[in-house]
Amino acid sequence: MAGGGGGGGGEGPRQLDQTPTWAVSTVCGVIILISIILELIIHKVGEVFERKKKKALFEALEKIKNELMVLGFISLLLTFGQNYIASICVPSRYGHAMSFCGPYDGPSEDDHKKLKKTDHAMRILYSVQRRSLADAPPVNCKKDYVALISLNALHQVHIFIFFLAVFHVIYSAITMMLGRAKIRGWKVWEQEVIHEQEMMNDPSRFRLTHETSFVREHVNSWASNKFFFYVMCFFRQILRSVRKSDYLTMRHGFISVHLAPGMKFDFQKYIKRSLEDDFKVVVGIRPELWAFVMLFLLFDIHGWYVTAVITMIPPLLTLAIGTKLQAIISYMALEIQERHAVIQGMPVVNVSDQHFWFEKPDLVLHMIHFVLFQNAFEITYFFWIWYEFGLRSCFHHHFGLIIIRVCLGVGVQFLCSYITLPLYALVTQMGSTMKRSVFDEQTSKALEQWHKKARKKNEK
């Protein structure tokens, strides 16, 4: 055969009917084996959640599996439809507009220098050759028409879908681990308050409202000025988001409103289950989030810098949410002070939805969901570009700005997962409703018995 661009020995690329059966069988076997192992791992994780009665985490795992299935369908559609998609032709004036890297005029002098100096040379050369061939007008396109998208570009989109699937699982796991780690630190406070519960309700422990540590830490001369009030809340979320007095006061307020006063109740365990319940929402990908992905890709145009502006949304929104949650805690302290009452034991906070934006605590959770998704998507996008086009490609024209964006992404992931989401799980308990779905079976039975006793007392 004539020397072609295929493998060694001067042979061209072989079709399946010319490939040895052992090669086809080996490749298929390895892929099937890896897929089965991954499926077994997911199945075992689900069994662990069921055995430990982690219903919310099990439902979150099912949601992740559903999202992966959606990505799998997208991958299948790309595989089976690639030849039909690549045969679609559009006018040249549209086909060359709104490019990621601007008009392509062949390899530049900088590209040739990189080919000589870097270990990435063969990859760049191969990508340049592929791009030149892929951009050539297909046979069935008329004059002044070009292909809508090349087969090579479709393959790169396929790789992007794979990156989305992998990073979605990784980021979901990181989010949950950081959130649980933060709440685990509150276990010491919970054990202390259980051991000292009798002393906490000692009638001899009378104090004025301004003498309680919770009020002292949140109310001062700066609190009367709204600007300085929110500045304090802004820095408080970063320096120390939840103090011991905050936790104990909100615990006492929750039990006093929703349960029997003085009832032995593991509030830290309840918060942990509430976080798991919120995690079900955070791991999902709603249609509007897919719409955001489409808009992000649409406006990632060379010279527009729209993505640089979009990158600022997660950190700004995360800080705004954290400031709002801290403000809610401070408002509760102000309400206690305004009563001018004498307090026995722990101060009781007012439990209400009115402190949240539009009186909807769930709105904050959806905002956190958007922040985590957008941040994860941008980090995934960065690694995909690095893999497909190299670290210093035309996508990363301003490399210093890209490094700043990646550092911001890592910081937002930590801030939102370790601070904002656990803080939301705690503060949202100060809403008007209680999440009965997160109670374990034993606690639910105890609540039912307490409600029955309370009903009998009222009847008497």
Q: At what angle do helices 151-184 and 55-86 cross, to 10 degrees?
A: 170
In a domain, 296, yes or no: yes
Whether 137 and 173 share a structural domain: no
Q: Are 83 and 89 in contact (CB under 8 A)?
A: no
Residue 388, pLDDT > 80, answer: yes
139, 157, 175 - which closes a domain = 157
Task: Give the tokens for residue 380.
Answer: 């995934």
pLDDT digits (tens, 9 = 90+) for 25-61: 888 899 889 888 988 988 888 888 888 777 777 877 8
Q: Burial code of 104-133, b = ≥16 C-beta within 10 A, e = fewer?
A: eeebeeeeeebbeeeeeeeebeebbebbee
Kindly state the average pLDDT of the residues 218-223. Answer: 64
Strands 342-344 and 145-147: unpaired
Whether 134 and 249 share a structural domain: no
Residue 127, pLDDT > 60, answer: no
Residue 102, pLDDT > 80, answer: no
Contacts of the segment 177-184: beta carbons below 8 A, 24+ positions apart: 178/414, 178/417, 178/418, 179/275, 179/279, 179/417, 179/418, 179/421, 179/422, 179/425, 180/272, 180/275, 181/418, 182/418, 182/419, 182/422, 183/268, 183/271, 183/272, 183/275, 183/422, 183/425, 184/272
Q: Which residue has the higher pLDDT, 255 or 174?
A: 174
Whether 120 and 179 share a structural domain: no
Residue-level pLDDT at 449: 59
Residue-level pLDDT at 33: 92
Q: Which residues contact 255 (CB under 8 A, 6 or more apart)?
A: 261, 262, 263, 265, 267
The whole-angstrom separation of Cα 161 and Cα 357 is: 35
The whole-angstrom separation of Cα 86 and Cα 88 is: 6
In a domain, 2, yes or no: no
pLDDT digits (tens, 9 = 90+) for 262-271: 667 778 888 8
pLDDT digits (tens, 9 = 90+) for 226-271: 788 888 888 888 888 788 888 888 787 777 776 766 667 778 888 8
Whether 337 and 211 share a structural domain: yes
The whole-angstrom separation of Cα 438 and Cα 184 is: 17
Whether 200 and 141 share a structural domain: no
Whether 86 and 170 share a structural domain: no
Q: Which single residue is written with the structure tokens 């090669």?
A: 23
Whether 379 and 269 share a structural domain: yes
Query: Position 46: which residue type?
Result: G
In a domain, 371, yes or no: yes
Number of domains in the chain: 2
Task: Give the tokens for residue 203.
Answer: 């009638």
Of the pLDDT bands very low, low, confident and very high (cuts 50, 70, 90), residue 347 is: low
Residue 173, pLDDT > 70, answer: yes
Residue 144 DSSP class? T
Residue 287, pLDDT > 70, answer: yes
Whether 136 and 177 share a structural domain: no
Kindly state the average pLDDT of the residues 105-130. Answer: 45
Kindly state the average pLDDT of the residues 349-368. Answer: 76
Q: Which residues contact 156 (CB under 8 A, 6 or more apart)?
A: 388
Residue 112, pLDDT > 60, answer: no
Kindly state the average pLDDT of the residues 169-195. Answer: 84
Task: Give the tokens for residue 101.
Answer: 């890297």
The whole-angstrom separation of Cα 417 and Cα 430 is: 20
Q: What does the angle CA 265 – CA 266 – CA 272 come to, to the nearest 5 degrees?
A: 140
Q: Which residue has the higher pLDDT, 106 or 365?
A: 365
In a domain, 4, yes or no: no
User: 40 is in which domain, residue-wise?
Assistant: 25-157
Residue count of the chain: 460
Whether 247 and 147 share a structural domain: no
Q: Which single residue is written with the structure tokens 């032709």?
A: 89
Q: Which single residue is written with the structure tokens 């709204």?
A: 226
Residue-level pLDDT at 450: 55
Whether 136 and 178 share a structural domain: no
Residue 343 DSSP class? E
Kindly state the average pLDDT of the residues 339-350. Answer: 52
Q: Which residue has the higher pLDDT, 327 or 447?
A: 327
Whether 229 and 111 share a structural domain: no
Kindly state the average pLDDT of the residues 73-92. Answer: 83
91, 122, 157 - which closes a domain = 157
Mean pLDDT of the chain: 74
107, 139, 157 - which closes a domain = 157
Residue-level pLDDT at 455: 60
In a domain, 10, yes or no: no
Strands 89-91 and 342-344: unpaired
If 0-12 CB within 10 Å is exposed, 13-18 middle and 19+ buried, where does residue 233 land? buried
The whole-angstrom separation of Cα 317 and Cα 321 is: 6
pTM over 0.95: no
Q: Are 363 and 356 in contact (CB under 8 A)?
A: yes
Q: Where are the alpha helices (DSSP H) in 339-392?
A: 361-389
In a domain, 14, yes or no: no
pLDDT digits (tens, 9 = 90+) for 434-443: 665 555 554 5
Q: Which single residue is written with the structure tokens 């999440």?
A: 435
The whole-angstrom separation of Cα 284 and Cα 70 is: 11
Whether 225 and 317 share a structural domain: yes
- Point out the least confidently predicted range of 33-42, 67-76, 101-110, 147-156: 101-110
In a domain, 453, yes or no: no
In a domain, 201, yes or no: yes
Task: Give the tokens for residue 2.
Answer: 């004539």
Residue-level pLDDT at 8: 45
